[in-house]
Amino acid sequence: MRINVYISSTGYCSRREADRLIQAGKVTIDHLPAMVGMEVEETNVVRINGEIIGSRPKTIYLAFNKPIGIISTTDQTIKNNIIDYIKYPERIFPIGRLDKDTSGLILLTNDGMIVNEILRSENNHDKEYIVEVDKPYDEAFIKAMETGVEIYNPVQHEKTLTKPSIIHKINDKSFRLIITQGLNLQIRRMCQALGYRVISLKRIRIMNIELDELKTGVWRYLSNVEVDNLLKRIHNR
């Protein structure tokens, strides 16, 4: 596998950070300087700053029902960060994020190889939410949410049309929404663009992983079947 993938798979750092370390001359393969894009075998010895990096650890996959107020960051200098809240004994990181005011399902892992595959919107991995807005919505709202809503993208400083979504009515103010993107505050911004304010937002499913009866603030390991199906969906898109 590529050297940055190998380093990431050990949990040492992300692929991008691995590339930076390689470019800075801090990585060697069998005592020879590594180059970005080089291939590495299991028999090779990889060092960073002269220290052998550990073998790839056993992969960990957790499902966590995030409470409102917990921040999806690994930065432990930030109050109410998800890592300190969970207190898992090994290094893990969230796959994507839920904003502070959103609750529900978030996955955490030490498997850096799958993170980008899940997060890239072009892979069309579906996520399902329960949404409550501040007033009754109409058919025009439903149609707009299903076909795409034009929202402002602060990163590119331009408007973006969201991808089509699936909406299922619960009552006149609540609905289930399935999206395949992960734009910042996407659902809140979609509703706002249509003249509605989100009162509550909860994610209940990521691909084949469902929140089910997992209590707020509690995590569980993914089952072998869940992991197998998750990996199949990622690699057979």
- Domains of the chain, by residue range, sit at 3-52, 61-120+208-235, 126-206
Structure token digits, residue 97: 């994020």
Q: Do domains 3-52 and 61-120+208-235 have the same CATH topology?
A: no
Q: Which residue type occupies 18?
A: A
Closest CA to 47 of 20, 25, 24, 28: 28
| Top-level class of domain 61-120+208-235 | alpha beta
Which of 99, 101, 111, 134 is the catalytic position?
Answer: 99
Judge whether 175 and 144 are in contact, CB under 8 Å.
no
Full-model pTM: 0.76
pLDDT recorded at residue 219: 98
Residue 228 is a catalytic residue: no
Spell out the per-residue pLDDT of the chain, length 237, in tens: 889 888 887 778 878 889 999 999 999 999 999 999 999 887 889 999 998 887 666 789 999 999 999 999 989 999 999 999 999 998 898 988 899 999 999 999 988 777 767 766 555 789 999 999 999 999 999 999 999 999 987 767 788 999 999 999 999 999 999 999 888 899 999 999 999 999 999 999 999 999 999 999 999 999 999 998 988 887 665
Task: Tell me the Cα Rg of the chain.
Answer: 20
Class of domain 126-206: alpha beta
Cα–Cα distance for residue pair 120/67, rounded to 1 Å: 25
Pick from 177, 135, 118: which is nearest to 186 by CA?
Answer: 177
Looking at domain 3-52, its CATH superfamily turns out to be RNA-binding S4 domain (3.10.290.10)
The helix-helix angle for 112-119 and 224-235 (nearest 10°) equals: 60
